[in-house]
């Protein structure tokens, strides 16, 4: 709209009205003395027109220098024209991780130990003679074992019976669920629907690939045979987490298949002998259907290779249960979270390898069954630098 044109027309109209009034004012006054209110009315309307035109011209003249001045009062500074404040907002974003404190350099001695472990793992993965026992694809089963901490870009592969519960507590704290590991209820740690630990399998393929390529990744391992003893004690002897299905569903199936006498023994609450357990684990051909029946319960004795696919995933650090006192602070520092969380206190001597215990558990078990068991876990021994248990095999 051309406001300058209308302004000129308004001024011209007002001036001509006034000229007419003043030119014929005398005659009008004489003729319309009786109608003086009419004259005052005409003059009043003329003045109102002048005031209105002046205000309108002033308002639009000021607005002509702005960029949509009236609309701009409804927009946030720096936004595009026409987007009203409060109507369109940027999507909320996750808060950036808190600034990490400046950390001293990693312990050179332990850095060397860690590098040797990852170099050995890489070397063994390239050994074609071991490929049948070390190479597994990154399946959903593997992705189900890996917990995610997006806030600090960490992936942790779950390997039960190696202090796995304590590492899950560490991640729960890092994810912001609790301020310290001591405040986490024990039953919450294993309640994966409530503990705030997402699994890698819950993400899209693109998200999974991005995290596997860029996040800090670690797992913890332990002497494979000592781990099996720990799993047997935990699930079939003590069962501290009150998981009755190990006694009621799994033990009877193993006993029926691998014990000559089906009578229950008083040796364990479940009636399962360690010898039965060893025969079941070493039966490569016969246990497959049973493992499908047992479901995820088998993760407590599945090989590290099957759990974490260490030849397909390039882990940043491999910790050892036997040196957890040194590995735990090293891993926290390498991941850049030292000072934000502490690994729970480790009871003295609990992580030390106990050869005497291993010998006691395997005494009375035939060499044939032990060799079959070793054949299954041989990849774990080689990949992570554990010596072959020759004192049991020969």
- pLDDT value at residue 109: 85
DSSP string, 68-101: SHHHHTTS-TTPPTT--TTTS-PPP-PPPPPPPP
The three-state secondary structure class of 233 is helix
- Mean pLDDT highest for which of 80-84, 135-139, 219-223, 349-353? 219-223
More confident residue, 250 or 100: 250
What pLDDT shows up at residue 192?
Answer: 83
Band the pLDDT of 333: cuts 50, 70, 90. very high
- Whether 242 has a pLDDT exceeding 70, the answer reads yes
Residue 318: beta bridge partners? Answer: 219
| End-to-end Cα separation, the chain, in angstroms | 102
Tell whether pTM > 0.75: no
Task: Please give the helix or strand (H or E) that residue 146 lies within, else none.
Answer: strand 146-149
Tens-place pLDDT, residues 38-70: 445 544 544 454 444 444 333 333 332 233 332
Residue 260's pLDDT is 73
Q: What is the pLDDT of residue 394?
A: 87
Which among 223, 200, 268, 264 is positioned nearest to 391, based on CA atoms? 223
Which pLDDT score, from 0 to 100, does residue 59 have?
A: 34
Structure-model confidence comparison of residues 290 and 43, the more confident one: 290
pLDDT at 86: 27
Question: Which residues touch 270 (CB under 8 Å, ≥6 apart)?
Answer: 236, 237, 239, 246, 247, 251
pLDDT tens digits, one per residue of 160-188:
999 899 999 999 999 999 999 999 998 89
Q: Which pLDDT belongs to residue 223?
A: 98
Q: Of 93, 154, 96, 147, nearest to 341 (Cα)?
A: 154
| Number of other residues whose CB lies within 10 A of the CB of residue 125 | 19
Question: Using an 8 Å Cβ cutoff, are 324 and 351 in contact?
Answer: yes
Q: Helix 274-282 crosses helix 224-232 at what angle (to 10 degrees)? A: 130
CA distance 62 to 169: 65
């Amino acid at each position: 709209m051309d406001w300058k044109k209308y302004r000129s027309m308004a001024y011209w109209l007002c001036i001509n009205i006034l000229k007419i009034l003043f030119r014929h004012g005398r005659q009008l006054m004489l003729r319309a003395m009786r109608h003086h209110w009419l004259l005052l009315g005409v003059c009043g309307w003329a003045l109102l027109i002048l005031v209105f035109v002046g205000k309108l011209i002033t308002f639009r003249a000021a607005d002509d220098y702005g960029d949509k001045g009236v609309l701009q009062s409804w927009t946030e500074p720096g936004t595009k024209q026409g987007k009203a404040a409060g109507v369109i907002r940027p999507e909320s974003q996750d808060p950036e991780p808190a600034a990490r404190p400046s950390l001293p350099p990693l312990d050179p001695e332990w850095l060397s130990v860690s590098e040797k472990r990852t170099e050995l793992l890489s070397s063994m993965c390239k050994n074609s003679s071991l490929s049948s026992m070390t190479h597994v694809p990154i399946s959903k089963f593997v992705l189900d074992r890996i917990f995610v901490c997006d806030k600090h870009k960490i992936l942790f592969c779950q390997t039960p019976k190696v202090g796995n519960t304590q590492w899950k507590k560490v991640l729960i704290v890092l994810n912001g669920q609790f301020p310290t590991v001591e405040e986490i209820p024990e039953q919450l740690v294993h309640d994966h629907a409530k503990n705030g630990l997402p699994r890698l399998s819950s993400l899209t393929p693109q998200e999974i690939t991005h995290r596997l390529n860029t996040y800090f990744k670690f797992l913890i391992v332990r002497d494979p045979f000592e781990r099996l003893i720990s799993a047997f004690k935990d699930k079939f002897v003590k069962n501290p987490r009150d998981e009755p299905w190990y006694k009621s569903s799994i033990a009877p199936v193993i006993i029926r298949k691998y014990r000559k006498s089906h009578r229950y023994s008083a040796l364990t609450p479940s009636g399962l002998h360690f010898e039965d357990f060893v025969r079941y684990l070493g039966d490569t051909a016969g246990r497959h259907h049973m493992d499908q029946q047992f479901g995820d319960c088998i993760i407590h004795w599945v090989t590290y290779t099957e759990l974490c696919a260490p030849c397909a995933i390039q882990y940043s650090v491999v910790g050892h249960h036997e040196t957890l006192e040194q590995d735990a602070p090293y891993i926290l520092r390498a991941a850049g979270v030292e000072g934000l969380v502490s690994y729970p206190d480790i009871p003295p001597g609990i992580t030390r390898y106990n050869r005497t215990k291993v010998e006691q558990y395997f005494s009375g078990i035939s060499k044939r069954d032990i060799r079959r068991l070793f054949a299954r876990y041989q990849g774990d021994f080689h990949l992570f630098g554990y010596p072959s248990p020759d004192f049991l095999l020969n």
